[in-house]
Structure 1
Amino acid sequence: MLQKSPVTAFFLLLSILLVSACSRHGIYETAIGLERSAAGLEADTITVGELEIAYLRNSEMNNGDTIVLVHGFGANKDNWTRIARELTDDFNVYAIDLPGHGESSKPLDLGYRLEQQVSHLARILKALNIKEMHMMGNSMGGAITALYAATYPEQIKTAVLFDPAGIVQYESELVDLIVAGDNPLIPSKPGDFERLMDFALVKKPFVPWPILGVMEEQAIANRKVNEVIFAAIRDAGFEPDFRNTITRIKDPVLVVWGKEDRVIDYRNGEVFVDAIPGARLEVLDGIGHAPMIEAPEESARLFLEFAKPHISNAG
């Protein structure tokens, strides 16, 4: 389909850049819009209590199952556009900006511990009238997805955890840096965002400099709320409650981990599957902390193969 072609989107963007004098922010908005359109997604918002929640959803809904996508710490809904491109023909995809992230409300006093974020997400999905879904989460979003499956088993058809947070039995390079007072996940000055991408991703998608600059500005502007959220979740890996809770998961769970992950050591994947009854682990060589960005086709294939018995009307 034409709207799904990344090559078409690239040349459309290139044409716009050549014939117009767009500002950096204008270029960014155009590029993001093209990425979303190529993935079959469009942006929307919903008010949930005192929160304004931004999200992406299918531009054309279909009769397929629903997939909810939950991003990681400091990230946003657009982290999912590459894998969504593989899914929106057959599924209704929702990528949520969690409170404190992206274009959603960012109150500093909301409460951002993992179990609190599960409650926030449940309220959002109830407001969206989503009652049953496949759920995917990355990093912090992976931990939230695991806890959500343990808390609301009747809502989850399958769960996919991409390099999930929550357990750090095996420490990573990130832990050493944080102990030394250096957190590469929270950009605070020019150059930090590119460092973050280099640290988190092995196969980095091409991002033109005007777009990268705007993304860095946004990340630096979010520094305060990011510090609050990180402080709320940083001890999750040392809490026995998290491990005890995920042992209650009854839904099918697939854990996908990039072997070159410097944020959370891939060996923690074995700890997850040992804790979650019936869970399966896939380790991807040459991939870092975000398989759905670095290897979207492979990530989608793994989900489709794993979830096939649980997909309504699957062929």
Structure 2
Amino acid sequence: MSSTELPSVPPTSVLPKSVPVRVAEGERLRSVGLPGVTLTVRSRPPAREGLQPALFVHGLGGSSQNWSALMAMLDGDVASEAVDLPGFGDSPPPDDGNYSITGHARAVIRYLEASGRGPVHLFGNSLGGAVTTRVAAVRPDLVRTLTLVSPALPELRVQRTAVPTGLLGVPGVAALFSRFTREWTAEQRVRGVLALCYGDPGRVSEEAFRYAVEELERRLRLPYFWDAMTRSARGILNAYTLGGQHGLWRQAERVLAPTLLIYGGRDQLVGFRMAQRAARAFRDCRLLTLPEAGHVAMMEYPETVATAVRELLADAADTADAADTTNSTGAAGAAGTAATRS
């Protein structure tokens, strides 16, 4: 695994073309070379030694920056890193062009294996929620806990507001949409995304809006922008139709890690009604519903989400300590019995 640190830019500065992305105070970016893929990783220095590692995975069209607010609030609880999935943020496309859920999950697994940070507290939003569900199901050794914010798990009755996003995965639609919207400004596009993803777009500060516009302008210049979007959207659609052991709901049932599910009442992309189905699917889970939140609760209500995450971590630690105590007691008892018999 090769790693190269990328230059950071203060949040209030203007982005020159030579600098890929900005980072919040206390963050750093580095580029990590792995077999078949190169990932950009956003991290925060641990507040103290001994903190358990956490890894955050963003949704369709997002980036690791979507987790910055929550990562900052968890500084004293975990050692945080967030990845840009292949083709998103500042990560280049994968060598094999595979943007399926399995392809993205494979990239996350390769990073965890190469970095040696696992098992981690794993977080996923939307597309990232589907990806991390698959990771937790197929590689339980890499996951301590799982936190899913509006995970993109299959729905039989998709909301009408989510249909346009799903259609991006249909061949030819993205090119048609690109031609139809070529006169749209970056500001118009960002306002549309915020209206779709936030329960209350008014919660976005003017500074954050300006940054989002700058970032979208940068990413629209990338030759693979629409390809990454459309192929990843197609990957979600394909995962929705996949049955058997590889189906996402079946894999959710296989997740062993303690799981926190977070759903927003104003989510226009993932149906709020799916919260109860998800709560039944994951065997060891707790559910947090936020009636005023949209699709990105960790960005709208980071304080509330951080509180729920801390409770998950504390309970998971207590359970692990109890298991260690039971194992130690059992081992001591077995040793005593063996000594008596001898």
Give the TM-score taking structure 1 as reference length. Answer: 0.82
Q: Which position in structure 2 is the counterpart of 1:152?
A: 139
In structure 2, the residue corresponding to 1:32 is in which secondary structure?
coil
Q: Is the CA contact (8 Å cut-off) linking 1:169 and 1:268 kept in structure 2?
A: no
| Aligned counterpart for 1:228 among listed residues 211, 214, 231 | 231
Unaligned runs of 5+ in 2: 1-9, 322-342
**Whole-Å separation in 2 of the counterparts to 1:239 and 1:258:** 26
Q: Which position in structure 2 is the counterpart of 1:194?
A: 191
**Whole-Å separation in 2 of the counterparts to 1:101 and 1:273:** 30
Q: Deviations over 1:112-162 (max 9, x none)?
A: 211222111100111212121111100011111111111111221110110
Could you tell me which amino acid in structure 2 is paired with residue 122 of structure 1? I
Unaligned runs of 5+ in 1: 1-11, 15-21
Q: Which position in structure 2 is the counterpart of 1:270?
A: 276
Shift of 1:30: 11
Q: Is the CA contact (8 Å cut-off) linking 2:268 and 2:294 kept in structure 1?
A: yes
| Aligned counterpart for 1:295 among listed residues 292, 298, 301 | 301
In structure 2, the residue corresponding to 1:257 is in which secondary structure?
strand
Q: Which position in structure 1 is the counterpart of 2:89?
A: 102
Matched, 1:25 2:15: yes
Q: Is the CA contact (8 Å cut-off) linking 2:262 and 2:288 kept in structure 1?
A: yes
Shift in alpha-carbon separation, 1:174–1:146, aligned structure 2, 3 A = same
Could you tell me which amino acid in structure 2 is paired with residue 99 of structure 1? P
Q: Which position in structure 2 is the counterpart of 1:211?
A: 211
Shift in alpha-carbon separation, 1:132–1:216, aligned structure 2, 3 A = same
Q: Which position in structure 1 is the counterpart of 2:39?
A: 53
Shift of 1:29: 6.8
In structure 1, the residue corresponding to 2:151 is in which secondary structure?
coil
Q: Which position in structure 2 is the counterpart of 1:163?
A: 150
Shift of 1:205: 2.3
Q: Deviations over 1:167-189 (max 9, x none)?
A: 21342133443578888x99864
Shift of 1:166: 2.0
In our comparison, the structure showing a higher alpha carbon Rg is 2
Could you tell me which amino acid in structure 1 is paired with residue 29 of structure 2? A
Identity %: 20
Q: Is the CA contact (8 Å cut-off) linking 1:137 and 1:144 kept in structure 2?
A: yes
Could you tell me which amino acid in structure 1 is paired with residue 104 of structure 2? Q
Q: Which position in structure 1 is the counterpart of 2:68?
A: 81
**CA root-mean-square deviation:** 2.9
Q: Is the CA contact (8 Å cut-off) linking 1:70 and 1:96 kept in structure 2?
A: yes
Could you tell me which amino acid in structure 1 is paired with residue 270 of structure 2? I
Shift in alpha-carbon separation, 1:130–1:30, aligned structure 2, 3 A = closer
Could you tell me which amino acid in structure 2 is paired with residue 234 of structure 1? L
Q: Which position in structure 1 is the counterpart of 2:334?
A: none
Give the TM-score taking structure 2 as reference length. Answer: 0.76
